[in-house]
Amino acid sequence: MTFEKILVTGAGGQIGSELVPFLSDVFGKDRVIPSDIRLSTADSRFVKLDVTDRAAVDLVVEKHKVDTVFHLAAILSASGEKNPELAYRVNISGLYNVFESALKNKVGLVMTPSSIGVFGPDTPKENVPIETITRPVTMYGITKLMAEYLGNYYHSRFGLNARGLRFPGLISYKTPPGGGTTDYSVEMIIEAVKGKNYACFLKEDSKLPMMYMPDALDSLLKLAEAEDSRLKHRTDFNITSFSVTPKQLETEIKRYYPSFEVTYHPDFRQAIADSWPGSLDASAAVQEWDFHPNFSLQATTMDMISNLRGKQISQTA
């Protein structure tokens, strides 16, 4: 059984804060149990849950008769390089606890986002397929790659319905991103709307794949609902909407804010970005569960600015 009681871990983060209302709209509010280590929301359904605490995970899964988990609790790439031990504990031990609890409680589906972080400097740069050289050089990437393998292991060895996809950088305006390398894209748009200039922590030509949040939410639901018999992959689908450099995003923003200025001051996150591909081959997601993103760079930028301004806008140039 799935989607009767849906636990979302890490629900207070960039994705979770939008996935919870999205799933609530689709399946009903009473079927969604948001949880996070931080209780930073007014949502009375929220459960405080540290995924590194195995007993606590069991308790929540049992108590709420959870049949589906969207496991979002994680430490992202830049935060993970600042605290690799924490990234290992949350991203690996936390996932292990969720898988073990899911097995014990016969949970029907565990969705775990992976990331472009699984790739490394030896990976080809363009149109990268799912199966390629990975060899990540960040703790985040190493934990994400292991998470993909763990998901496949729990499926083949124990029959657990573990699924996941490699998100590119996600752009959204409702909740700030939580310490990633692609966060510059969100920050740049927000600063422009505030009428400020922006000091970018990546070089102007660092091309990375990106996606707007509505497409990311849609992808999670589509993969969660995909027919099992169509899936040749399980935990490592590449997905992407568009690829962009900081300079190209700056240019796009300037169509709305012509005097907006960006200066480029690469920091430690540049090495992380340099290790990731510029574009992905996402054809398996199309073939196996019909994924088609809707938002281009232009549509994403316009929608972001429009929502941040709180009203519809028109271009000035």
Which of 88, 96, 140, 154 is flagged as catalytic?
140
Q: Does residue 9 interact with ligand NAD by CB under 6 A?
A: yes
- How far is the first Cα of the chain from the last one, in angstroms, to the nearest whole number? 52
- Residue 73 beta carbon to ligand NAD: minimum distance, rounded to whole angstroms: 3
Active site residue 173: no
Site string for ligand SER, 14-53 (x = CB under 6 A): ----------------------------------------
> Which residues make Cβ contacts (< 8 Å) with residue 151, sequence separation at least 6?
99, 110, 112, 160, 162, 163, 164, 234, 235
One residue of 17, 24, 181, 238 binding ligand SER per CB under 6 A: 181
Tell me which residues in 159-178 interact with ligand SER (CB under 6 A).
169
Tell me which residues in 256-285 interact with ligand NAD (CB under 6 A).
none
Residue with smaller CB distance to ligand SER, 20 or 116: 116
**In this structure, are strands 198-200 and 208-212 parallel, antiparallel, or unpaired?**
unpaired
Query: What does the alpha-carbon distance between residue 205 and residue 36 come to, in Å, rounded to a whole number?
Result: 36
Task: Give the SS3 label for residue 89.
Answer: helix
> Which residues make Cβ contacts (< 8 Å) with residue 10, sequence separation at least 6?
16, 35, 36, 51, 71, 72, 73, 74
Q: Does residue 213 interact with ligand NAD by CB under 6 A?
A: no
Q: Does residue 182 interact with ligand NAD by CB under 6 A?
A: yes
Query: What does the alpha-carbon distance between residue 224 and residue 197 come to, in Å, rounded to a whole number?
Result: 40
Q: Does residue 92 interact with ligand NAD by CB under 6 A?
A: no
Residue 90 contact, options ligand NAD, ligand SER, none, Cβ 5-8 Å cut-off depending on partner type: ligand NAD
Q: How far is CA 249 from CA 84, 205, 257, in A?
A: 30, 10, 12
Q: Does residue 211 interact with ligand SER by CB under 6 A?
A: no
Tell me which residues in 65-84 interact with ligand NAD (CB under 6 A).
72-74, 76
Q: What is the DSSP letter of 248?
A: H
Summarize as ranges the residues that interact with ligand SER (CB under 6 A). 76-77, 115-117, 140, 169, 180-182
Residues marked as catalytic: 140
